[in-house]
Amino acid sequence: MRFLNRMSFKLPFIERDKFVKLIRFGVGYDRTRRSYYIKNYNDAEKIIDVISDILDEKISFLQKCILCRENFSCSDCKYCDSCGTKGLPLQCICQNCLGKTKLYDHYIQRDLSSM
């Protein structure tokens, strides 16, 4: 399994029809960095299917912790087996932050500081 960062990932040269599919599903392409990024998450599962087909291996996107902003893999989480959104390019809480006391207070502080 290959893990990709949703903000910037590279793919080998792809056929036009697969490129068009990715763009339609919500993937953007940065010409200067020659990398792809997820700009719309509505069809995340379809994006994963197309990229897995291109790379000929299963892929998963790294999660971004909503508290510390670090990227982490779903496989590091003890709730991985029961999670309905594992591997999707979303936000979650990493194991380090999950162990903090007063988790809600940390979330509110982070939310207020981003305003």
The answer on 67 and 55 residing in a single domain is: no
The answer on 55 and 81 residing in a single domain is: no
The answer on 77 and 42 residing in a single domain is: no
pLDDT bin (cut points 50, 70, 90) of residue 114 is: low
Per the structure, the complete domain to which residue 33 belongs is given by: 2-61
Question: Which among 20, 37, 61 is the end of a domain?
Answer: 61
Mean pLDDT of 24-45: 94
Q: How far is CA 6 from CA 72, 73, 84, 89, 107, in A?
A: 11, 12, 18, 6, 22
pLDDT at 96: 86
* Higher pLDDT among residues 59 and 91, named by residue: 59
The answer on 45 and 20 residing in a single domain is: yes
The answer on 57 and 9 residing in a single domain is: yes
The answer on 87 and 52 residing in a single domain is: no
Task: Give the N- to C-terminal CA distance of the chain in Å, as an integer.
Answer: 37
**What is the full DSSP assignment across 6-66?**
TT-B------HHHHHHHHHHTEEEETTTTEEEE---TTHHHHHHHHHHHHTS-EEEPEEET
pTM: 0.77
pLDDT bin (cut points 50, 70, 90) of residue 111 is: low
